[in-house]
């Protein structure tokens, strides 16, 4: 038999087959990178205003800005301004699918799909993850019913595929100064009706976020929720100060934080690659804190009628985040939990 010459096409096919079998390293593919500005420009959004404060909300649904499974999809605020002062906005320059949380690349911040959200974003602990087992269904409030793929522990930076065969409906209503987002989920013993309303208070530099979580299912919803509060008042954070209703736990030296009485701050600006993290309290405390740019006088105060079960703080040079947690236990058969955040904004 006469041998046929090996063409370039044959060589490429053979190499691809060998790579698929693990005999050769597969050719590296460039990760998908999307600039945050482009994502914001094409994502559906809702403009809110009370004549004093203006805000831009990026709601859940088709084409939504946020597509991860870590944070509540409702309430992504890409901008909030008072007298020209911006309080929120993207703290990252791009979204990359090869990044889990965030990473500094060429002097800019790249966020993964899980962490690429903005504003007073909320994250719930998963419900029923351990009992689900590989291939089973568990609940992430604010996200929906998703599938556990394997035996690995829960990782909020990982993407979990939604269970599309079960009810997962979203509804939006807006009247100009408020927006109501409703999420209805049912399946695998879970059934909830979750309503989140963002309203700008008439005549005041204030935003109120109200929550109603009703459990109509057979299983209890035991979880906790914290607000990440991605505040972007100051680049570098050197002039930023957090005032708390208690004296925070002394920060470790490596955090670069300095506590003084009921306040905590960074004495020096954070540089590229640096971050600060601290557990401010592990015991219940009043939910009431203020973040102030001491250089400009701009500030935001956050309050809730419920006590925070714990407080944490995290920051890189582009953002400061105070993270109070709330414990939730919603009994089945129509049990309800309500909580409200009130944000008061100020400029000098």
In a domain, 32, yes or no: no
In a domain, 124, yes or no: no
Task: Return the half-sphere exposure (C-beta side, CA atoms, 13 A cut-off) of residue 266.
Answer: 29
Tell me which residue has tokens 């400009």.
296
pTM here? 0.90
pLDDT in the model for residue 30: 74
Q: How many domains does the chain have?
A: 1
pLDDT in the model for residue 326: 98
pLDDT in the model for residue 276: 84
Please give the average pLDDT of every successive group of 10 residues along the chain, which has 348 residues: 36 37 48 94 97 98 96 97 97 96 96 98 98 97 98 98 94 97 97 98 98 98 98 93 95 87 92 91 98 96 98 95 98 98 97
Residue 253, domain extent: 230-326
In a domain, 309, yes or no: yes
In a domain, 132, yes or no: no
For 200, list phi and psi in degrees, rounded to 5.
-95, 120
HEC assignment per residue over the chain: CCCCCCCHHHHHHHHHHHHHCCCCCCCCCCCCEEEHHHHHHHCCCEEEECCCEEEEEECCCCCCCCCCCCCCCCCEEEEEEECCEECCCCCCCEEECCCCCEEEECCEEEECCCCCCCECCEEECCECHHHHCCCCEEEECCCEEEECCCCCCCCCCCCCCECCCCEEEEEEEECCCEEEEEEEEEECCEEEEEEEEEEECCCCCEEEEEEEEEECCCCCEEEEEEECCEECCCCCCCCEEEECCCCCCCCCHHHCCEEECCEEECCCCCCCCCCEEEEEECCCECCEEEEEECCCCCEEEEEECCCECEEEEEEECCEEEEEEEEEEEECCCCEEEEEEEEEEEECC
In a domain, 252, yes or no: yes
In a domain, 296, yes or no: yes
First to last CA, the chain: 89
In a domain, 312, yes or no: yes
pLDDT in the model for residue 14: 38
From residue 29, give the alpha-carbon distance in Å to each of 20, 32, 101, 234: 14, 9, 20, 36
pLDDT in the model for residue 154: 98
In a domain, 315, yes or no: yes
């Amino acid at each position: 038999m006469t041998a046929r010459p090996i063409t370039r096409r044959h060589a490429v096919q053979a190499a691809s087959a060998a790579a698929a079998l693990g005999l050769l390293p597969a050719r590296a593919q460039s990760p998908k990178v999307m600039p945050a500005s482009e994502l914001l420009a094409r994502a559906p959004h809702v403009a809110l205003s009370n004549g004093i404060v203006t805000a831009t909300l990026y709601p859940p649904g088709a084409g939504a800005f946020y597509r991860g499974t870590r944070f509540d999809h409702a309430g992504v605020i890409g901008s909030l301004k008072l007298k020209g002062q911006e309080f929120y906005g993207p703290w990252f320059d791009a979204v990359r699918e090869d990044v889990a949380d965030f990473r500094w690349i060429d002097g800019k911040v790249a966020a993964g799909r899980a962490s690429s959200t903005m504003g007073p974003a909320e994250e719930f602990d998963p419900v029923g993850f351990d009992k689900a087992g590989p291939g089973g269904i568990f609940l992430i409030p604010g996200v929906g019913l998703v599938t556990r793929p394997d035996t690995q522990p829960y990782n909020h930076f990982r993407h979990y595929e939604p269970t599309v065969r079960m009810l997962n409906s979203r509804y939006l209503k807006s009247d100009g100064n408020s927006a109501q987002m409703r999420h209805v989920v049912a399946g695998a013993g879970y059934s909830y009706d979750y309503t989140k309303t963002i309203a700008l208070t008439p005549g005041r530099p204030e935003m109120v976020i109200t929550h109603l979580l009703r459990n109509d299912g057979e299983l209890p919803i035991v979880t906790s929720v914290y607000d990440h509060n991605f505040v972007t008042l100051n680049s570098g954070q050197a002039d930023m100060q957090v005032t708390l209703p208690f004296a925070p736990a002394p920060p470790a030296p490596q955090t670069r934080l300095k506590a003084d009485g009921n306040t905590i701050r960074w004495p020096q600006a954070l540089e590229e690659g640096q971050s600060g993290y601290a557990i401010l309290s592990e015991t219940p405390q009043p939910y009431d804190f203020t973040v102030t740019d001491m250089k400009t006088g701009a500030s935001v105060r956050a309050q809730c009628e419920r006590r925070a079960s714990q407080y944490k703080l995290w920051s890189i040079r582009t953002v400061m985040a105070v993270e109070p947690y709330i414990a939730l236990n919603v009994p089945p058969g129509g049990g309800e939990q309500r909580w409200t955040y009130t944000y008061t904004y100020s400029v000098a």
